[in-house]
Every structure is written in structure tokens, then in C-alpha cells.
A and B are shown apart, each in its own frame.
Chain A
Amino acid sequence: MRLHSPDDLKTLQAELCNNGHWTGRTLIIPAGTCGRASGANDLIRKAREELLRGEFAHLIRVRVTGCHGFCETEPSILVEPDGLFYPRLKPADVGRLVEATARGEIVEDLVWLDRETGARIPHQRDVPFFKKQRRTILSRSEQVDPEDIDSYLRNGGYSALLKALEGGDPAWVLQEVKSSGLRGRGGAGFPTGVKWEMLAKQPSTQGKFLVCNADEGDPGAYMDRSILEGNPHSILEGMLIGGYATGATDGIIYVRNEYPLAIKHLHIALEQARGLGLLGENILGTGYSFDIQVVQGAGAFVCGEETALIRSIEGQMGEPRQRPPFPIQSGIHGRPTSINNVETWANIPIIIEQGAEVFAETGTEHNSGTKIFSLVGKIRNTGLVEVPMGITIREIVHEIGGGPVGNAEIKAVQTGGPSGGCIPASRFELPIDYDGLAKAGSIMGSGGMIVMDGHTCVVDVAKYFMGFLKDESCGKCFTCRKGTQRMHEILDDITQGRGTHDQLDLLEELALVVKDTTMCGLGQTAANPVLSTLRYFRDEYLAHIDQQRCPAGVCKPLITFSINENCSGCQACAKACPADAIYGERKQRHTIDTSKCIKCGTCRSVCKRDAVEVA
């Protein structure tokens, strides 16, 4: 079926709402990549089996969606319309759950257990992880089956496009995006409306490109993947609106090859949208034509950089080039090109639907809307959190994140991936926005947030990120290629206990030069992990150099393991030790033979009495 006018779309939406009206309950099973990895497929199979076996199919339906954000608790089930949240389910529990749901009851022992109070919290909205969030983008992933355009339409999908097309005025759309104050979610925070306006003003006889940058490469960041997997149509709708506003003719979604599920869902979505006439020539009979194709990246981190991405799309080696000319003037095949991040595109339909003013109410001045962060590391609740801009780091880490996972205090968060920086716990009252983070020596980046506690060595972290960057630098700029290698070399020396004060000075000097002299964003921010950790944790560097000591107990050459008087002689460590370095009689305090010890830390992790010390 092809829709020929805006009215056709409205009729279809209304029809879908009426026919699809469902008064019973729905089991929503998140099955993004994270969900599937933790066993969501078994849950889905089991749930369907139970529905058939118990003849509940007329009472309960199953909806498979993308990730809802709380990856830590998957596989999980959300029951609609009650909003009951069942985390970390085993297939064996599904039978009970289905029966109770059919009776309209809650399975008390399966719902969320609050560790602090010991209380059971049945409703998703009351779970601390969800409570403080403002989930405008992620909550849509709960409503929508990503493989079914009907499901998207039923939930008001493509209404924003309708509104834009019916308004008949691209300038109005531009103005809405501009006054919403939306800033690019890819990291640099350039106002999207301003970028679009520049694109709209560019003269071009051969058409203009809009690109969705889904080359999400930061270690520990996966919000773009979740959006693409969970709600691909929202990206298409955003791009269609963008094309209408800017006069662009072609859209490209550049998605990394490591996201096979996202690619699959995108292809399904594109095909379905094309089938309905929402993509292609003469969309909804309005005379507006726009088509989107998917281009798969080949695995280079640097291709997330605009100019390298353009070269990659053109089929050349992914290497940044000098700007100016900016992609807005001369992008793919020399045509004007605007590149926006996945999350930016996901915000567009929301802005048009709600209106710019409503959108701008969330967040702070110059930093409007919500931002999704992927909260990972030494934190109790890991997952995707969507929060209004301007929220403090403390609120994210301690209230939503639930604090540290072990006994050690949280000492810092790394924001913005490898090119970001460390922010120490003393600055956790910092409101998160583009400018605040930049002042603190970090960047917003695409929204990775890695939490570190007392058992994380910042020198080791800086070395890890530098190792990543030296592999992922394209190698064109000499200072980026050799600079990251040399910084890694010095950091390695320090973690091995070979570092000197002269080397530390050289590291800082080099870091500043790398930041100054490289061409693209990767190189210019490559020194951030070093500079920010030196700024806030210089004492840890000095402990490695002066005292040959790793305060966090991570850098192997600088630590020794020993067993203290807490030891009960349970022999758990002795059995677990892969090097047979632990000996001692049963019920007697054990000893570690340091000459045999390989410092793997296994004894420390198996000990229940905190008897293994690292110094």
C-alpha cells in the first residue's frame, strides 16, 4: 500500500489505533544486542510457549522491543499497562510470571529489590534507576516494535513529519529547530538549527546530503546503537524532516559494521517506509522527495570524524582533511553536506511534535533537552540513562547509578570516551552541559561515562585510552601518530615503575603540542586523558615515580599481594591460585609466596573476608 496524501497517513494511523486497540496486558521484552546477549531470546520463546500452553493468548500479548536502558538487569520483562518491572529473569520464572499477570497479580519475589531499604519495588517508575531520569527518547523504545512500522505509526510515528509537511513552510521547521536550542549530540555541541540554516542557504545544483553519523566508536558508549536498534523509524523521520527543512535530497546513515542488529533494523525500516511512500519520490503527494541509504563503516574509529566519514562514504581511505572547506560547503562528492549524530536526529521529531518551546523547557539555558549517557564502570546500576541537561554528575552517579559497586569510594568519572577527560569526585556538583564539562578539562563527547573507584589506577586508565588512540589514529598527522605512541610509551614506563620526573614533564609538554598541532578532533582531544588526569591526580603519577607504588593496586610491577590477620584459613584462595603461590594449613593464616605470585588478583576476588591486601 502506498500513501498518496497526508490524509492517507492520518487515516492509516487512526485505523491502526482502532484495530490495534488492546485492553489486555502486554509483556514487553527488551531484546537489543545487550538483551539478547544476556538471554532475552530464551525469555521470548518461553513467554510465547507459556501463553499458548496456559491459553492466555487472549489476555496477554508479547512485544519484543529494543533496549530500555537498564542493561544491567537484562533479560527483563516490563508489563503494560501496569508498568511492572521484572529484572534479571530466568526462563524458569516466566511460567509463574505469565500466570500471575493473567490474574492481574504481581510476583512479589521477582520485582526489583532495593538494596538499601530491603523493600520490593514493583513499578518501573519507582525504581531509583528510572526515577530521576527524563526518558523522552528511550521511553519510546518501550512502545515500539522496531521491526514493525505499524507499531511506530500507532504510537504517533510520522506525525511530526506530517506536521512539518502540512505546515508547508521549511523556514518554519528550521526556525523551530533553531529556537529549540538543540545542540549536536555527537560531542562538539554545535547548534543543529544553525547548521541546518547554513545548509539550506548553500547553493547546489546537484543536491545536498544529510548524514546520520552512527559510527559510535567510544569504548563503553552504546546509546546510538540502542536508538537504532530500538526505534529506527524515529531516525528516518528526523532525517525526512531535516531534508524538508534544508532542501537536502539524499540521506545517508553511516553505521558501523559492528552493529549488525542496528543495520538489520534499519534496512527493515527503510523498506517499510519506502513501501508506504514515506521515502522516495513525491512523499505523501506533497512533491517533496528524499531517500536514505545505509553505508556500513569498516571499523575505523576515526571515521566518526566528519571529514574522514565523508571520505569513507566516497569509498576512500578514512582520513580527515583540513577544514575549511567545511562539509557544509563541500562534503560528499563536493556537495553541501550536513552531518548529525543519531541522538540529534532522534530529537528532531520530538521537537516538531512538542514544539520548540516545550522542548527548550527541559535542561538549562543554551543546553536544552535531554542527553543519554551510557553509565558504565565501577557502578552498581550500569545502563543508558537519559537525563535533562544541567543535572549534576553526583545525581547521575549516586542517585541513578546507585553508587559504587564495591567497598571502594568512587573517585572519578571519565566522560566523552577516549578523547574526554577524568572529572574527580570533588567536582561532582558540576552540572553536566557542553560548556561546563569543557571548562573542567573534559568533553561531553557522545555521552560515555565511565565510573572509576579507588581500585582504578588513573595512570593505567590514561594508558589504556592512549593505547586505544595510538591504534585508532589514522596516522596522517605525524604528531598524532607518533605523539600518541610516545605518550603511551611514557605512560607504560610510569606504570612499570621506570618513570622519571623528566619523563613526566616531557609527557605534559608533548601532550600540549599534540593537542595544538593535529588536524582533526581525534588528535586535538587525544591528549585529554593525560592532561586531565595530570591536572587532578598528579599525586598518583608521583606515587608511581617517587615511591614505586600504585595507590590503586593495579599496576602489576609495583604491587605485592599479602594476606592479613582476617584470614580464616578457608583455603579458597589457595585452591583458586593459578600459580600455586599460596600455602598454609587449614584454619591457619595463609601466606603468599611472592616469588611465585603472578599478581593476577584471583585470591583477592575469591576471599570473602577481605584478607588479601595489595600494597
Chain B
Amino acid sequence: MNGMVSLTINGLVVSVETGMTVLEAARFMGFPIPTLCHMDGLSPYGACRLCVVEIGEAPRARLVSSCTYPVEEGLIVRTASRRVIRARKMILELLLASCPQSKIIQDLAAAHDVQQQRFRQEYEDCILCGLCVRICEEQMMAKAIGFRNRGEKRSIGTPFDLHSDECRLCGACMYVCPACQLRCTYTEPEKAVCGGCANLSPPCIEKEPFDDMMCYMTPCVACEIQKD
């Protein structure tokens, strides 16, 4: 897969390595593209659709998610065309309508000049971006949580909603979450995916091959207690 591909991004001819995604290439060249479900080090997923860019030329131009689309020789990309901006604004409006309490979404909306949303207001915790699922599987090697169901009923959780033996309460899922910081509900721990915040003995001691290098629980209630 070595070699270079040249493509045009916003009128600029650039040369990048084969195997890169359009998002990586555009960011490498300094073109900003907003994302919610993308994180370096995790596999691309393409769930939030915020990173859409326009490729090809009219009348066959279309929008694709740049985080999942591989660079191709001769590809023509526009990262901020009118069509892209219109789509992004609508996505942000939908996000605000479902998840207004997320600071990250509020900031993105403000940056894109989205002042209001016209749908019925909902208060959901999760935008199902899948970052937690991927970090749990790909970086923390636990695979404790996953997607369940489809459509309206889709959700993230452990099998049968029971505490998973695979989960070692590392807190990575909460660390990456762009929307539902509320998942760590100190007041209602039974509603949280991991219940980690209610944990009072350091989980890292029991599960041996892992040390605090693989822990995102900062501050860790159990560690704080230990220190005292």
C-alpha cells in the first residue's frame, strides 16, 4: 500500500499516501472538518455524518463521510461547499434537538452559526457515535460494551444489561464520550454503563495484566480512598 496518490482538495492539488482517508488528507493539508465519532487511533466508523464532504463533479457530485472514504487518484473534494454546509447545519440542528446538554455539540453548533433547532426538543444522553464501543474493543481490549438493536431502539450497553466481567472499570468509555458526560451519574450509578463511579475498591488491582496505564478513571474514587 505504499505510494502516493494525488487528489484535489478545495481546488488545491495535493499528494498524500495511499490508504489515507479523505479526512486525514484534508486535515493534513490544514482544512478543518468537524467530527464527533472520529478519533485518531480508533477505526473509522462513519456514524455522526458531520464530516461529510462533497466529491466528484456535478451532476454526479455526492456527499460522503470523509472519515471512512479512502483517497483515490484524481479525486475532487470540496470540504466546505454550500451543499456540505447545508447538510452539516441540519445535522447539528438534529443533534441539538436530541442532545442539547453536550458542551461539544453546543460549541460545534455555535461555530457553524446554528442558533436554533426547529424540532421537538428531546433530552437524550447518547448520540450512538460508537466511540466508547470502539475504544473498549480496540484500545482497552475489553469488548465489554456493544450496540444492541436497530433503528429507534438502538442503544449501547453490556449484554443483558448486567455488569460485564470483561469490564474492568477503566473509564475509557466516559473519557471519549462527546455527548453523554452524564453517563457517569454519581447520583444514579445503576443507570451508568459501567457503574464504575460507585466502585470503592480499585479494580486495577484485581485484573492483573492491566495497570493504571490502561485507566482513564481520573479521578478514581477507589484510588482516592486508597491514598487516604
Chain A residues within CB distance 8 Å of chain B: 300, 302, 317-319, 321-322, 324-325, 470-479, 481-486, 489, 502-503, 506, 509-510, 513, 516-519
Contact = CB atoms under 8 A, between A and B. Distances in A.
Given A322-B68, A513-B90, A518-B49, 4 more contacts: A302-B150, A471-B151, A471-B153, A513-B86
B152 interface: yes
Interface stretch (B26-34, B93-101, B162-170, B185-193): B93-101
B189 to A, nearest CB: 26
B147 A471 contact: no
Contacts of B129: 478
A435 to B, nearest CB: 14
Main secondary structure of the interface of A (DSSP, over half): helix
Contact of A478 (B48, B63, B118, B153): B48
Interface in B55-77: 62-65, 68-70, 72
Nearest to A469: B151
A470 B151 contact: yes
Contacts of B152: 470-471, 475, 481, 485
A322 B69 contact: yes
A318 B151 CA distance: 12
Given A472-B150, A473-B151, A506-B118, A479 B94 contact: yes
Nearest to A514: B90
9 contacts: A470-B151, A471-B153, A475-B147, A475-B152, A478-B129, A484-B151, A502-B118, A516-B62, A517-B63
A477 B46 contact: yes
B127 interface: yes
A318 B150 CA distance: 9
B83 interface: yes
B154 interface: yes
Given A470-B151, A475-B151, A477-B49, A519 B91 contact: no
Contacts of B64: 322
A516 B68 contact: no
B160 interface: no
B151 A476 contact: no
Nearest to A493: B120
A475 B63 contact: no
B141 to A, nearest CB: 19
B150 A474 contact: yes
A566 to B, nearest CB: 43
A517 B52 contact: yes
Given A486-B97, A519-B46, A478 B151 contact: no
A506 B93 CA distance: 11
A481 B46 contact: no
B55 to A, nearest CB: 12
Interface string B80-117: 00010011001100110110000000000000000000
Contact of B65 (A302, A319, A322, A325): A322
B90 A477 contact: no
B123 interface: no
A513 B46 contact: no
B128 interface: yes
B72 to A, nearest CB: 8
Contacts of A485: 152
Contacts of A475: 128, 147, 149-154
A476 B149 CA distance: 11
A486 B90 CA distance: 12
A519 B66 CA distance: 11
B153 to A, nearest CB: 8
Contacts of A513: 86-87, 90-91
Contact of B87 (A471, A502, A517, A519): A517
Contacts of B153: 471, 475
Contacts of B128: 475-476, 478, 481
Interface in B138-159: 147, 149-154
A322 B64 CA distance: 9
B47 interface: yes
Contacts of B83: 516
Nearest to B63: A516
Contact of B49 (A300, A510, A517): A517
A484 B95 CA distance: 14
A91 to B, nearest CB: 43
B46 A322 contact: yes
Contacts of A325: 70
Contacts of B120: 489
Contacts of B130: 476
Contacts of A300: 150
Contacts of A321: 46, 68
A476 B148 CA distance: 11
Contacts of B70: 324-325
A502 B117 CA distance: 12
Nearest to B89: A513
Contacts of A486: 94, 97, 119
A317 B151 contact: no
B227 to A, nearest CB: 41
A452 to B, nearest CB: 25
A506 B120 CA distance: 12
A510 B49 CA distance: 14
Given A472-B151, A506-B118, A483 B47 contact: no
B177 to A, nearest CB: 15
A482 B46 contact: no
A545 B37 CA distance: 38
Contacts of A479: 49, 90-91, 94
A473 to B, nearest CB: 5
Nearest to A473: B151
B98 A482 contact: yes
A483 B152 CA distance: 11
A513 B49 CA distance: 11
Contacts of B118: 502-503, 506
Contacts of A519: 46, 65, 68
A481 B130 CA distance: 14
A388 to B, nearest CB: 30
A516 B86 CA distance: 10
A475 B48 CA distance: 11
Contacts of B86: 513
Closest 10 CB pairs of A and B: A475-B154, A322-B68, A513-B90, A473-B151, A471-B151, A517-B49, A516-B63, A479-B49, A517-B87, A482-B94
Contacts of A476: 45-47, 128, 130
Nearest to B124: A482
Contacts of B69: 322, 324
A188 B170 CA distance: 46
A307 to B, nearest CB: 11
A479 B49 CA distance: 7
Nearest to B54: A516
Contacts of A473: 150-151
